[in-house]
Amino acid sequence: MKIIDLEEKYNGLYFMCLEDWSDEMKEAGDHKELWYNKMKDKGLGVKIAVTDDDKVVGMIQYVPIEHSTAEGKNLYIIKCIWVHGYKEGVGNFQKKGIGKLLIKAAEDDVRSKGAKGLVAWGLSIPVFMRASWFKKQGYVKVDKLNMSVLLWKPFSDDAIAPKWIKQRKKPKKIPGNVSVTSFINGWCPAQNIVFERAKRAASEFGDIVVFTEVDTFNRETFLEWGIADALYIDEKQIRTGPPPSYEDIRKKIAKRVKKLN
């Protein structure tokens, strides 16, 4: 097992979160690739775990905190860390210490860049990106927003703790129409799937449904809303983790359309 910087020959796997076998991931479009091409010169770091027989089984990606949903200074933040855990594809490689190797490699990298600490986000429930796992790696909770916990590991005594950037407004209902508003940053294929499904579902109803894309890679746009990735139908936010099916999104839109008639 070795931990290396992302190489071009592995880009396709990285853009699909190592799930090239997944039909669902193929719905995500090219948003992750576009995000990567914009971020690779803005401090993005990507490390991957590769076996001796050239299987990519884990990844971690991290960016300067100024390009995230948290506020801080001289810090990097982990966007996600993932070790392949499915039977499909390369198989289950979780619980073998690979995550620890990846996060250590990221810490060493950002230290060498002069960062004063590394930040992580985790969920308070036992699913993907568990906050409890980061605590075991020496990260300390500094903020919380609903189920999302912000943690960090400072490298110097003068490091300033980060905090979440909170939502500032939400989409408004359009009189006489159903509004479908999809916020998309591009970094997360799961959220990119939601965007593509919502856009396709909204297009089936004609002019009565107004679909609006909000590109939150633009920092000013993100700060205006305080939202990075989300789906709204009228003024109601739809849960997008895990991604709702296309059929489910379409049913929710149809229900709102029916109320207009």
Q: What is the pTM of this model?
A: 0.96
User: For 228, phi and psi rounded to 5 degrees?
Assistant: -100, -55
| pLDDT attached to residue 74 | 98
| Residue 188: alpha-carbon gap to chain centroid | 4
Report, at the CATH architecture level, how domain 2-164 is classified.
3-Layer(aba) Sandwich (3.40)
| pLDDT attached to residue 261 | 75
The mean pLDDT of 143-155, rounded to a whole number, is 97
Domains 2-164 and 178-260 share a fold: no
Tokens in use for 131?
């906050």
d(CA 68, CA 185): 10
The mean pLDDT of 70-74, rounded to a whole number, is 98
pLDDT above 70: percentage of residues in the chain? 100
Q: For 102-138, how does the pLDDT look when each residue is reduced to its tens digit (9 = 90+)?
A: 999 999 999 999 999 999 999 999 888 999 999 999 9
Determine the 3-state secondary structure of 180 from DSSP.
strand
Any idea of the CA torsion for 122, 125, 127, 132, to the nearest 10 degrees? 50
| pLDDT attached to residue 196 | 98
CB 165 within 8 A of CB 224: no
Count of other CB atoms within 10 angstroms of residue 55: 16
Q: Where are the domains of the chain?
A: 2-164, 178-260
pLDDT above 90: percentage of residues in the chain? 97
Q: Which fold has domain 178-260?
A: Glutaredoxin (3.40.30)
